[in-house]
Structure 1
Amino acid sequence: MIFKYGNVKIEIPQGYEFVYYATFIVGEYDHIHVKKDDIVLDAGAFVGDFTLKIARKVKEVVAVEPLPWAFELLKKNVEANELKNVILINKALYDEDTTLTLSDEGVGSKLGEGNLTVNTITIDELGRNFTVVKMDIEGAEGKVMKGEWINSVREIAIELHGKENIERVTSYLVSHGFKLTEMKMNHLLINTFKNVLLHFPSFVDAERKSKVLYSAIFKKKYYVPALQREEIKIVYGRK
């Protein structure tokens, strides 16, 4: 299914339409304010929703996605949008170079589970001084909170999974000079109102195809996990 948002077009598999809404309409990462000289890490890029949204506004994006079929669609979406400043990495981020199993559950895929075998890489080994990081790596975020990469980061948005990870990662970020804000419902309502107004034709087209927002309002089917489960939070950090 093809969705649009301004000058961005993105193909998203059926059943994953909520990914478009979470990134482009609800704006769960809209607290990030990128600059033209930024080098951005999209950790857990999936099919490229966040990468496509910000790539034309920054110097470079390194998009890391371990799931093979999602990576192929990520590559296809980057090529379709003619983005020349995006580096694609088909590996999983971890605290060492190794080989791990991965479950094939789309946006819910987890390292250490399932039958897929993936190679891992550390953030430091990507060889960039990242200034902005978006991270959604389904529970592995605690493993990558080490190394020199954090020193150059100005802003970070991270989806945290599990009480232990939430406590560990937030403490780590605070100890490295970040001021943290947790995403709340009022943030999403403001973002949704703003994004619908700014890109109304794209929103109408997406809603006609998927009825995601209709389902959220009238059927109480919400698509941002951090609002439904206490063990998942989206946290923003700025230095």
Structure 2
Amino acid sequence: ASFLASRGGRVFSIEAMPSIAEHLRAGIVENGLQNVDLYNYAISDPSAKDDLVMALQPWNKGGSAVEGNKPWTLTSGTTKVRVPLTTLDSMLDSEPELRNVLVAKMDIEGNEGRALKGATRLLREAPPCYLMIELQPQWLVRTGTPVEEVGRILSDAGYDVSQIQSTHPQTYRLQQRDLAACLARVAAAVGKSAPAALATSTVLEAAQL
């Protein structure tokens, strides 16, 4: 995303944890990144409520997760924060440039499956050409979206999912099976402008190149 942003691409960054979002916002201002938009939301599916509870992992804030997604999030004394929810399809209504995403990254500590379920229209109409996604089978089961189901969602969206395993946590670098057609679609959409990139973690970052 930073590479694309440096070449004029737009970056959509979505971060659930307010404290992390503050650090991101400070970095955006300090580096003068006028084409980076930061959203302080959690990403989920349409069935979720208007907000949810996030648990802060003090020794690794990037590992913070939705309450219940990881065993430690239920322990007493853990700092909890209630954050607003949205879906990628809802963002698509207000940010049509998300249709021009070239590269996407999703790493939301077990909530990847639910986030994908909230992106059915985006994945059907304009899936990113490349997708980096972290899949942790144990966490995905806890959220009701086993890795096999996530694989089916991604396959139906046109991605080559042959490398996805159901037993080991791993970050996968996927691409559209018809990559040439996807690249042509994005190029036609942006014209002389730069394409886009989408990245998610407890944060979701998306960039338009």
Listed one character per residue, the Cα deviations across residues 120-177 of structure 1 (whole Å, up to 9, x for unaligned) are 1000111231522111111100102232111312111111122544222222111221
What amino acid does structure 2 have at the position aligned with 1:98? D
Which TM-score applies when normalising by structure 2? 0.62
Relative to structure 1, the CA distance from residue 84 to residue 181 in structure 2 (aligned partners, 3 Å threshold; closer, same or farther) is farther
Question: 1 CA distance for matches of 2:137 and 2:8?
Answer: 32
Question: 2 CA distance for matches of 1:172 and 1:120?
Answer: 21
| 2:52 equivalent among 96, 100, 105 | 100
Matching residue of 2:91 = 126
Within-5 A mapping of 1:1-239: 51-57=1-7, 59-96=9-46, 98-105=50-57, 106-113=61-68, 114=73, 115-127=80-92, 128-131=98-101, 132-146=103-117, 147-151=120-124, 152=126, 153-163=128-138, 164=141, 165-180=146-161, 182=163, 231-239=168-176
Relative to structure 1, the CA distance from residue 144 to residue 181 in structure 2 (aligned partners, 3 Å threshold; closer, same or farther) is same
The answer to whether the 8 A contact 1:65-1:90 is kept is yes
CA RMSD of aligned residues (A): 2.1
What amino acid does structure 2 have at the position aligned with 1:122? T
Listed one character per residue, the Cα deviations across residues 199-233 of structure 1 (whole Å, up to 9, x for unaligned) are xxxxxxxxxxxxxxxxxxxxxxxxxxxxxxx6421
What amino acid does structure 2 have at the position aligned with 1:80? E
Question: 1 CA distance for matches of 2:33 and 2:153?
Answer: 33
Length, aligned pairs only: 143
The answer to whether the 8 A contact 2:4-2:10 is kept is no
Question: 2 CA distance for matches of 1:136 and 1:86?
Answer: 19
Kindly state the Cα deviation for residue 91 of structure 1 after the two structures are TM-superposed: 0.6
Question: 2 CA distance for matches of 1:108 and 1:232?
Answer: 14
Where structure 1 has 5 or more consecutive residues not aligned to the other structure, the ranges are 1-50, 184-229
* Larger RCO (CA under 8 A, 6+ residues apart): 2
Relative to structure 1, the CA distance from residue 172 to residue 58 in structure 2 (aligned partners, 3 Å threshold; closer, same or farther) is farther
Kindly state the Cα deviation for residue 58 of structure 1 after the two structures are TM-superposed: 5.3
Alignment identity in percent?
A: 26
Kindly state the Cα deviation for residue 118 of structure 1 after the two structures are TM-superposed: 0.7
Question: 2 CA distance for matches of 1:58 and 1:233?
Answer: 31
Runs of 4+ in 1 over 6 A off after TM superposition: none
Question: 1 CA distance for matches of 2:15 and 2:110?
Answer: 14
Where structure 2 has 5 or more consecutive residues not aligned to the other structure, the ranges are 74-79, 93-97, 177-209
The answer to whether the 8 A contact 1:130-1:149 is kept is no
The answer to whether the 8 A contact 1:155-1:238 is kept is yes
Which TM-score applies when normalising by structure 1? 0.54
Kindly state the Cα deviation for residue 181 of structure 1 after the two structures are TM-superposed: 6.7
Question: 1 CA distance for matches of 2:53 and 2:133?
Answer: 23
Kindly state the Cα deviation for residue 83 of structure 1 after the two structures are TM-superposed: 0.9
